[in-house]
Amino acid sequence: MTTFLLVPGLFMGGWAWEAVAAELTAQGHRALPVTLPGMAERAEEDPVGVGLREHTDAVAELLDTEGPGIVLVAHSYGIFPALAAADRHPGQVARVVFVDTGFPEPGESVAAQMPQLGLPDHALDGLVPVPEEIPAVHAVPPSELERYHRLATPQPVRTVTEPIELTGAWLKLPTTGVFCLANGLSLEFARTLHGTGLPRFAKLADPAVTFFELATGHYPMLSTPVELADVLMRAAAGEGVGLYED
């Protein structure tokens, strides 16, 4: 049995992982969807006062409580608090799984890594509003789209402007990247990044790093939860392809 700690992306709570968690549980594993402070059912916890540090502390506390041997799964923004927590407590983590996201550099913020989103510019009273729509390219079915708009909550702006604290300890952890092809991430793109020779992309070719590709958009926990759960179980077993494998 493997314990999966599931950290959501922007605007979402643990609810986003319900279908994935159900499939993992049905296959005999333990799944722990995370709702970060100030989000979803925790939105009453002074969301304006919540920053990346508070989100990191929440994940780190769960690692302390539930580890060692956790497979730490993070979608999109969730990699920031998840990776910072894993960097603090690498002995609690068996593998980090990046779901349609990259890894930040020490001192980098979400806003700095993804300036094209303009997240701080959209903030009102310390919160980034939930986007009005999820484009059709992401293949989220109507029922899940309705649920997203009903349950999604504004994102505390400090979570995307505060820099991540990393020592580099996480770099020694086995990792798996799950690319969602309709969102533009792929093995081919990762090879291009590694081919630049920039030090930040060196880990992509590490023998302990594996990859999977899913033929869906940026929200696979909503669009293809069974397929995503299967990939997570395979990742936990060390499966996947290396950067330059066919």
| Inside any domain, residue 77 | yes
For residues 47 and 29, give the distance between their C-alpha atoms in angstroms, rounded to a whole number.
32
| Inside any domain, residue 75 | yes
Please compute Rg for the chain using Cα positions.
Answer: 17
For residues 145 and 148, give the distance between their C-alpha atoms in angstroms, rounded to a whole number.
5
| Inside any domain, residue 225 | yes
Average pLDDT, the chain: 94
What range defines the domain where residue 138 resides?
3-236
| Inside any domain, residue 115 | yes
For residues 206 and 100, give the distance between their C-alpha atoms in angstroms, rounded to a whole number.
19
Judge whether residue 176 has pLDDT over 90: yes
Note the pLDDT tens digit of each residue in 58-101: 999 999 999 899 999 999 999 999 999 999 999 999 999 999 99
| Inside any domain, residue 241 | no
Judge whether residue 190 has pLDDT over 90: yes
| Inside any domain, residue 243 | no
| Inside any domain, residue 244 | no
Domain count for the chain? 1
For residues 162 and 159, give the distance between their C-alpha atoms in angstroms, rounded to a whole number.
6
Q: What DSSP designation does 11 have?
A: T
Strand order from edge to edge, sheet including 3-7: 30-33, 3-7, 70-75, 93-99, 175-180, 209-214
Note the pLDDT tens digit of each residue in 120-165: 888 888 999 999 889 888 999 999 999 999 999 999 999 999 999 9
Q: What DSSP designation does 28 have?
A: T
Domain CATH code at residue 77: 3.40.50.1820
| Inside any domain, residue 246 | no
pTM beyond 0.75: the answer is: yes
